[in-house]
Amino acid sequence: MNAEDKGDSFVGRNQPIAQHSRIGMLEDYSPIEEIEPARKAQYSNYPLSPMIKGIFAGRGITHLYRHQADGIEYVKNGKNVVVVAPTAGGKSEVFLVPAVEGALKGENTLLLYPTKALARDQHLRFSEFALYGIRTETYDGDTPQGKREKIRARPPQILISNMDMLHFILLNNRLFSKFFEKLKYVVLDEVHIYSGIFGAHASNVLWRLKRLMKRKFNRKIQFICTSATVGNAKEFSQRICGEEFVLVEGTSSPRAEFHHIIISPPESYSVAALRIADEIGRKALIFGNSHSLVERMGQMAKRMNIPLAVYRSGLRQDARRQIETDFKAGKVKYLATTSALELGIDIGDTDVVVLAGFPGTVTRVRQRIGRCGRKGQKGYGVFIAKESPLDQYYVENPNEYLYGEPENCYINPKNENIRKLHILSAAKDQMFSPEELTKELSKHIELLEEEELIKKWGNFYSTTKEGAKRARLINLRSAGGSVKIYNTES
């Protein structure tokens, strides 16, 4: 389906983009420009509870968009829902409302985020409901041990975590029984992150969660997935969660006028990215595709007397949070960043996104340029092409850059190596009983028995001491063991 079929019309949608258009101060670069017109919101009269309505009013939300109301209604009717909407298109409300209403009825929600920064951002959104007795806690690698013990002893109604931590929670699920006894919703934000090997692991972790909930707690959970950019959202969500889904497309949110600009500079693309951001003169995010690139831009900005901060993974946690706060507050005008700020964390009223090099996929382009124009102001997305063949391809074929469909995501949950590791982990989560043993499970369990990682206890199968140790060492981003390479000469 093309953009017009979805109601998203662009200027010059069916004509070649005009080359060498003039756009003021950037004309020296002979840019290609396309203007995406503004779109009005379509609202719903969905009856929010007075409590939620009051909190939303404080955030400036007086009515839900049509797609938000549709999504919430599907969830209330027991459907698994995947919401695909642009950045700032109102995806969070589709799971926030059921989570809060569920909490008031004694039901728990598990929110899984791909980054700690995004988890912190969402924690703040839920914290406003604490006045009504709804507790939200974050349980991840940064949570101190003492705080973890308190969360396990007195679990909140809403628990924020990530897929890696869920793996360990399942291995130690006896410590979390109070939370699982009331678990109703599981949310996967930015579901497209779970593509490939990581997604194959994630699918098996969710299989283990569903198995545990059914066998130990006799509960069926509902899934809510969200994404700004994935071509096969419904199919992929069904694949990763192993359940049927309803697709909700977020085309009813408003959108400000947006200027897409493509430039192939005669100079270094990193220098051009800094110059263009400074010439536009508005609050800007500059995305680089590596740590070294953004650090180099930080050094170049000093020599060019451009006030630029650098944000990337690997910085101290307190340093990252301070940069996020300063950029959101406007104390930092230009911020060079890696993919660390690509996802949906709220970084305020950014006006410009500069891509220093093509990020590899159309999906990532949409994700990155969606970081600006979130507050209703005019937005600018500037792609600075390198001399590489891939970058120059999109310069020569700009319609594919602007109108190309987001890539599909794929996983193989039945990958033999990955599946075997999670069947081992599942035996640690909860012993396998005879009635569970399908042909596939029996095959893997037999192999794990031969390796002395699983042992039969009566009619049940559980991990050995070595098997439990192996399960704890699983890396969700790897398909097998690590390989050590030695230089035998030295």
pLDDT band at 398 (very low <50, low <70, confident <90, very high): very high
Q: Which of 165-169, 327-331, 356-360 has the lowest mean pLDDT?
A: 327-331
Q: Is the pLDDT of residue 313 over 90?
A: no
What would the mean pLDDT of 133-156 be, rounded to a whole number? Answer: 95
pLDDT band at 229 (very low <50, low <70, confident <90, very high): confident
pTM of the model: 0.83
Give the percent of the chain with pLDDT over 90: 65
State the pLDDT at residue 472.
Answer: 95
What would the mean pLDDT of 64-90 be, rounded to a whole number? Answer: 92
pLDDT tens for 177-199 read 999 999 999 999 989 989 999 99
Q: Is the pLDDT of residue 5 over 80?
A: no
State the pLDDT at residue 314.
Answer: 80
pLDDT band at 481 (very low <50, low <70, confident <90, very high): low
Contact 246, 82 (CB under 8 A): yes
Q: Is the pLDDT of residue 7 over 60?
A: no
Give the percent of the chain with pLDDT over 70: 92
100-109, 336-345, 398-407: which is most confident: 100-109
C-alpha to C-alpha distances, 346 to 117, 253, 294, 350, 372, nearest whole angstrom: 10, 17, 21, 10, 10
State the pLDDT at residue 18.
Answer: 40
State the pLDDT at residue 224.
Answer: 98
What would the mean pLDDT of 347-353 be, rounded to a whole number? Answer: 81
Topology given in CATH for the domain delimited by 50-249 = Rossmann fold (3.40.50)
State the pLDDT at residue 4.
Answer: 38
Output 416 or 121, whichever has higher pLDDT: 416
Q: Is the pLDDT of residue 136 over 50?
A: yes
Q: Is the pLDDT of residue 251 over 90?
A: no
Output 32 or 453, whichever has higher pLDDT: 453
Q: Is the pLDDT of residue 430 over 80?
A: yes
**Architecture in CATH for domain 24-39+255-403:** 3-Layer(aba) Sandwich (3.40)
- All CATH 3.40.50.300 domain ranges of the chain, comma separated, are 24-39+255-403, 50-249
Q: Is the pLDDT of residue 47 over 70?
A: yes
pLDDT band at 261 (very low <50, low <70, confident <90, very high): very high
- Across the chain, mean pLDDT equals 88
State the pLDDT at residue 23.
Answer: 46
What would the mean pLDDT of 156-163 be, rounded to a whole number? Answer: 96
